A = this chain, B = another copy of it.
């Protein structure tokens, strides 16, 4: 058994399971909140970790824009005396993009349609963040 754990394949298998768990949390977030078109876990330096979506978007664009939003939010929070950034929200006439710090250098993004309610999105995203933190 200890030899099996040392095999590269076994390690890869373990990695896949963790990623599967992250993807599962994101799929649940999306299926529980019908307004969420895309949700993704992204590193603060703009790299995609896991995602679930109904509408396909280019991965590097989504991840990069998420990190950019949090970077600017960080600067704005400091310059306007609001402390440490927790969330950045952009509302367009076709829906919301919400970025929340998910801890340990990760960000949770949700992109929703225009019929979504911000309060419910927050509620569902915070539930998801608790589940993601148990896996990370």
How many copies make up the complex? 2
Interface residues of A toward B: which range?
Answer: 35 or more
The verdict on A85 contacting chain B, using a C-beta distance below 8 Å, is yes
Contact A68 B72 (CB under 8 A): yes
Q: Select the stretch in A2-10, A25-33, A92-100, A126-134 that faces chain B.
A: A92-100
Provide the main secondary structure of the chain A interface. mixed
Distance in angstroms from A69 CB to nearest chain B CB is 6
8 Å CB contact of A93 from B61, B68, B86, B91? B86
Q: In the bound complex, what is the Cα–Cα distance between A38 and B82 (angstroms)?
A: 12
Contact A92 B85 (CB under 8 A): yes
Contact A80 B57 (CB under 8 A): yes
